Structure 1
Amino acid sequence: MENGKENKTGYRVEQDSIGAKDIPGDVYYGVQSLRAAENFRITGLNMHPEIINSLAYIKKASAITNCESGILEKKKAKAIVQACDEILTGKLHEYFIVDPIQGGAGTSLNMNANEVIANRAIEILGGKKGDYSAVNPNDDVNCGQSTNDVIPTAGKMTSLRLLQNLKKELLRLHGALCKKAEEFDHVIKMGRTQMQDAVPIRLGQEFQAYSDAIMRDIHRMDNAMDEMRTVNMGGTAVGTGINADEAYVSRIVPNLSKISDIQFVQAFDLIDATQNLDPFVAVSGAVKACAVTLSKIANDLRLMSSGPRAGFGEINLPAKQNGSSIMPGKVNPVIPEVVNQVAFNIIGNDVTITMAAEGGQLELNAFEPIVFYCLFQSIDTLAYAVQTFIDNCVTGITANEERCRQLVENSIGVITAICPHVGYEKAAEIAKKAMKTGESIRNLILREGLLSEKEMETVLDPVNMTEPGISGKELLRK
């Protein structure tokens, strides 16, 4: 039966190597897309809009390149390009019906794009959907390509765009943390190691350390984005370039770079670039590392704000919603909590991506769909988490300065600052007395006449306790 012929009212018949199938007459997808949608009802989710756009860029670049190479006639190329441009404006996305997780290394997604673009191009040329004699999904839209170079390239382009958005939010977070570091620079508090009192630190120093860690993640993200710029377009099925014209192979990546406004480079070894997904593992690792950093910061904020009366109570987080259905007035640290949960999910996604990349065999890895599903989710959710972390938490944090001061003065940890002036053994003796009696280190030192009030003020000056470079005796001589 001929493709595109009407079988019953409102339907057209399309045929592939499996057989004939009724397709709703008004849709732009075709038989292979519909079979995939029926076979892979996995997540119930739609394809990420950015990968749909990435496929449109690739198909557009391929049509232009094939036309330049004399392989695709101009009118077909022009219609394909117009169809791709429409997709890039957000049109036709609803006809990408295949599940993000699918068998076949992404062939279903590639064919979904080929069919939608072909059917729209057929309409542009005045034909009827399903009449693939006018524009063929395989022979015209997919000319010079294979799923095995199109899909990894689309995954890399999508990752780059999503990473750019994540980087923008991370830069905002870095700025917000730097502002808090400056705001809190004068606030001295108790530093803690292994959850026990250690030595004093300035609250601003803690926030400065957070900002430095985020900047390190931004640099790591930049390196990850570089991993995504090398593509295997032109390699077709296994990287050997079978069925691709030599002129097409040499021009496709420059053309793709030009129309997408992303500087791609063609892999030196197209076979290697077709076989291996390690660049996606590297990107996932960078995203995971950033998630770990953020989760640790979120943990610290929850601890420092705990109580507020029976916990540390050193900082206040913005109150965003009621914290209990039974305990009146309770407010929970919900924003740091959601950051933690996003991080847990990203860590799990990274394991999945790692195993999927390891699971490839010989000339192809069939598991790119699950890699992309997990990676795009990780990048997107981290960006959203950072956004709410900034706007609903970090910028509104305030310090309880008096509480911080009291904890320092009542802590055994300040004995470390006094140790150079009274000696280790005497300092240890004073510390034991303080722990046994509950009396402050300051009072014990003064009562025993080990230091004067003025000397104590100098030794326990916030800057002196939190900056290196001056010995104890030099400090008192000053």
Structure 2
Amino acid sequence: MATRIEHDAFGPVEIPADRYWGAQTQRALGVFDIGHERFPVGLVRTLGLQKMAAARANLRCGVLPAELATSIVSAASELSRGLFDQHFPLTVWQTGSGTQTNMNANEVIANRANGLLGQPLGTKSPVHPNDHVNASQSSNDSFPTVMHVVTALELERRLKPALAFLRDAWAERAVAFADVLKIARTHLMDAVPMTLGQAFDAFARQVGHGVDRIDATMPRLLSLPQGGTAAGTGLNAPPGFDTFFCEEISALTGLAFTPNPSKFEGMGAHDALVEVSGALNVIATSLVKMANDLRLLGSGPRCGLGELALPDDGLTSSIMPGKRNPTIAEVLVQASLQVMGNHFTVTMANASSNFELNVAKPLLIHNLLQSIELLSDGCSVFAERMVRGIGIHERQLAANVDNSLMLATALNTEIGYEKVAQITRTALAQGIGTRAACIQLGHLSGEDYDRLADPWRMAVGPSPTRARPHPDAAAPSLPVDGPR
């Protein structure tokens, strides 16, 4: 393999001839030989945006001459568009400030900028990775700035649209099944009637609240520490650099970034990112609840609850021919559990900050971005391949409603709790419906029972425009005494 020689403060370094990284990146490859986890390309490309904004801010401050600033912006723009993804070989496991990945970006951009100016790889002239690409910056403020920017972009461009898609899918199913009665279950036991539409509307609202929680984190997320340089004091950064930087990065991304008035807060801790992770953790718990509810309601098809008809994913068992499993729900649960675990790691990474610098930045942002990716992909797949295709088993739903002992709950205000308890005990003991038990005990006539214990009124209240559907094929598993 052909190589070239570059020099840094510690001497010569041999680098593959066609690679755009430089001496510091090559040294890091030999030092941090741990694991294989790499940053997602979104973070690498956001480094390109950050270096573009910094070069433009430096030009406005008079720190860089126009020719160098222009070449740096051009090279960084190519990086932001993914042209140099393969030139970022380092794993997440590196210095806790993200210094090596920041230097990786500086070196790639400097080499490309020099190439645009007619110079070969490794010359460091006229564009130097530290003096020019990293001008007015430190890894200590640049890397957390990138963490904020990439998180905001991933939330706005990936997760929020995926959540909106899932929310709308649930809302559509809620409307479609607004007139479908089912039995609510509390403590996993039969409760009073409700509609399937009500259950699905609750899911839609959970997802909608997830979007709201993300939006609530944005004011802190859009506040950037860029300009704090080494420790938060702004040493070697010209006046106005932080303001110009935020104007430039806002123009590049379309998001309203602002300078953090306390660079010390923005560099010494990453509370805003933990706040985002907390919102993701809530969303993950919501998704597990939804997925597990579907798994249970669709269980069967003959020996479970069997109320929902879940879409067929075309997969089956390795030993039981034709067996269908709720695989989409299962994979969403697994992804959501990973997000919950990531939140613990993000929490501990932030809690491990010392003095003026958090030194678990790579770990923190790696886990946070993985959470956003898993939730984005998981919500989209769940909405498209599960929620939008949910059907119902009408006969099973109707049978469960007819057989519920808790229909008698509606009689409480008419005959009192004790008599209703007697009705449910009798019905359960004799294997009959609560209507038959009520008449047998002499508490109410059949006509009065039907008037009071109407499942529709119990679920949605008086509604003269609604008529209770009762499929001809409905077949209760317990006997009832005549038509309802």
Q: What range describes the TM-score normalised by the shorter chain of this pair?
A: over 0.9
Tell me if 1:407 matches 2:400.
yes
Other structure's SS at 2:43 match: helix
Q: Does structure 2 retain, via aligned residues, the 8 Å contact 1:30–1:116?
A: yes
Other structure's SS at 2:339 match: helix
Equivalences for 1:121-136 in 2 at 5 Å?
121-136=113-128
Tell me if 1:94 matches 2:86.
yes
Q: Does structure 2 retain, via aligned residues, the 8 Å contact 1:288–1:350?
A: yes
Equivalences for 1:25-104 in 2 at 5 Å?
25-104=17-96
Paired position in structure 1 for 2:481: none
Equivalences for 1:107-186 in 2 at 5 Å?
107-164=99-156, 165-186=158-179
Provide Cα deviations, 1:401-451, integer angstroms capped at 9, x if missing partner.
Answer: 221121122121112122333322221111111111111112222444543
Where in structure 2 are there 5+ consecutive unaligned residues?
Answer: 464-484
Paired position in structure 2 for 1:380: 373
| Aligned residue type for 1:466 | A
Q: Which whole-Å CA distance do the structure 1 matches of 2:197 and 2:452 have between them? A: 20
Paired position in structure 1 for 2:313: 320
Q: Which whole-Å CA distance do the structure 2 matches of 1:142 and 1:183 have between them? A: 57
Paired position in structure 1 for 2:284: 291
| Aligned residue type for 1:116 | V
Other structure's SS at 1:199 match: strand
| Aligned residue type for 1:90 | G
Q: Does structure 1 retain, via aligned residues, the 8 Å contact 2:311–2:385?
A: yes
Paired position in structure 2 for 1:398: 391
Paired position in structure 2 for 1:444: 437
Tell me if 1:237 matches 2:225.
no
Match 1:423 to one of 403, 413, 416 = 416
Displacement after TM superposition at 1:469 (Å): 8.3
Provide Cα deviations, 1:66-102, integer angstroms capped at 9, x if missing partner.
Answer: 1222221111111101101112222111101111232
Other structure's SS at 1:192 match: strand
Q: Which whole-Å CA distance do the structure 1 matches of 2:417 and 2:23 have between them? A: 82
Equivalences for 1:207-222 in 2 at 5 Å?
207-222=200-215
Q: Does structure 1 retain, via aligned residues, the 8 Å contact 2:423–2:441?
A: no
| Aligned residue type for 1:91 | L
Q: Does structure 2 retain, via aligned residues, the 8 Å contact 1:30–1:112?
A: yes
Q: Which whole-Å CA distance do the structure 2 matches of 1:162 and 1:178 have between them? A: 24
Q: Which whole-Å CA distance do the structure 1 matches of 2:142 and 2:393 have between them? A: 56
- RMSD over equivalenced CA pairs, Å: 1.7
Where in structure 1 are there 5+ consecutive unaligned residues?
Answer: 1-8, 471-478
Q: Which whole-Å CA distance do the structure 1 matches of 2:349 and 2:49 have between them? A: 26
Other structure's SS at 1:319 match: coil
Instruction: Give me the identity figure in percent.
Output: 37
Match 1:334 to one of 316, 327, 330 = 327
Greater Cα shift, 309-318 or 93-102:
93-102
| Aligned residue type for 1:196 | M
Q: Which whole-Å CA distance do the structure 1 matches of 2:433 and 2:240 have between them? A: 81
Q: Does structure 2 retain, via aligned residues, the 8 Å contact 1:298–1:339?
A: yes
Q: Which whole-Å CA distance do the structure 1 matches of 2:240 and 2:409 have between them? A: 73
Paired position in structure 2 for 1:223: 216
Provide Cα deviations, 1:172-221, integer angstroms capped at 9, x if missing partner.
Answer: 11111111111111111111111111211111111111111111111001
Q: Does structure 1 retain, via aligned residues, the 8 Å contact 2:242–2:259?
A: no
Paired position in structure 2 for 1:279: 272
Q: 1:390 to 1:249 in 2, by over 3 A?
A: closer
Provide Cα deviations, 1:309-339, integer angstroms capped at 9, x if missing partner.
Answer: 1111111110113332112221111111111
Greater Cα shift, 64-73 or 357-366:
64-73
Q: 1:445 to 1:373 in 2, by over 3 A?
A: same
Q: Which whole-Å CA distance do the structure 1 matches of 2:96 and 2:408 have between them? A: 66
Q: Does structure 2 retain, via aligned residues, the 8 Å contact 1:101–1:373?
A: no
Paired position in structure 1 for 2:476: none
Match 1:199 to one of 170, 183, 192 = 192
Paired position in structure 2 for 1:6: none
| Aligned residue type for 1:305 | G
Paired position in structure 1 for 2:477: none
| Aligned residue type for 1:52 | V
| Aligned residue type for 1:190 | I
Q: Does structure 2 retain, via aligned residues, the 8 Å contact 1:409–1:442?
A: no
Other structure's SS at 1:439 match: coil
| Aligned residue type for 1:82 | S
Greater Cα shift, 104-113 or 245-254:
245-254
Q: Does structure 2 retain, via aligned residues, the 8 Å contact 1:409–1:441?
A: no
Other structure's SS at 1:246 match: coil
| Aligned residue type for 1:74 | A
Paired position in structure 2 for 1:476: none
Greater Cα shift, 115-124 or 168-177:
168-177
Provide Cα deviations, 1:39-88, integer angstroms capped at 9, x if missing partner.
Answer: 33434244311111211111111111212222211111111011011122
Displacement after TM superposition at 1:36 (Å): 1.9
Greater Cα shift, 67-76 or 245-254:
245-254
Q: Does structure 2 retain, via aligned residues, the 8 Å contact 1:422–1:450?
A: yes
Q: Which whole-Å CA distance do the structure 2 matches of 1:183 and 1:454 have between them? A: 32
Paired position in structure 1 for 2:300: 307
Q: Which whole-Å CA distance do the structure 2 matches of 1:417 and 1:244 have between them? A: 72
Other structure's SS at 2:236 match: coil
Displacement after TM superposition at 1:352 (Å): 0.3
